[in-house]
Amino acid sequence: MILAQADKSNLRFYSMSAQIRQERKGYYEILEKTQKGNLDITEWIKWFLQCLINALRSTDLILKQVLYKADFWNRHSKTIINERQRFLINKLLDGFDGKLTSSKWAKIAKCSKDTAVRDINDLINKYILQKEAAGGRSTNYELKK
């Protein structure tokens, strides 16, 4: 609370409660150790400050992702993109899990594989998607950097 008050601002761009939830095992361990020891809170303060650093780093990553996504859509504001494409691009921008193939595109977008291939090729032609360099049995696609 003292740290929050020291900012002299009502706006917070980091969340200590979310970070403590992520590190709750360590939180309870250090809390128990501090309470059962000689009540020296030095170790707890060190843990708390490291948790604060982690919260700030986490926020930094989230802000970078938000700014990257906003910049992407700003750069492509005049590009004609259908709803399926917009939906899948947002999935990629938000950190799509795994490799994106035309089959996965079709399944996620609830369209035929032919439609998925057309959507993908259209985005390749618009310099939004590219084939992954790795290659292999099936072709994977990623956002063009």
Determine the pLDDT at residue 90: 96
Determine the pLDDT at residue 36: 86
What is the C-alpha separation between 50 and 85, in angstroms, rounded?
41
Q: Which of 53, 75, 97 is the last residue of a domain?
A: 75
Q: Which of 25, 46, 75 is the last residue of a domain?
A: 75
Total tally of structural domains belonging to the chain: 2
The answer to whether residue 90 is domain-embedded is yes
The answer to whether residue 5 is domain-embedded is no
Q: Is the dihedral of CA 50, 53, 58, 61 positive or negative?
A: negative
Number of other CB atoms surrounding residue 128 within 10 Å: 20
141: DSSP letter: E
Determine the pLDDT at residue 4: 65
Determine the pLDDT at residue 34: 86
The answer to whether residue 8 is domain-embedded is no
Range of the domain at 40: 14-75
The answer to whether residue 25 is domain-embedded is yes
- Asked whether residue 134 falls in the same domain as residue 92, the answer is yes
Kindly report the CATH number assigned to the domain that includes residue 87.
1.10.10.10
User: What stretches in the chain show pLDDT beneath 50?
Assistant: none
The answer to whether residue 34 is domain-embedded is yes
Q: Which residues of 14-37 are buried (b: 16+ CB within 10 A; e: fewer)?
A: bebeebbeebeeebeebeeebeee
What's the first-to-final CA gap in the chain, in angstroms? Answer: 41
The answer to whether residue 100 is domain-embedded is yes
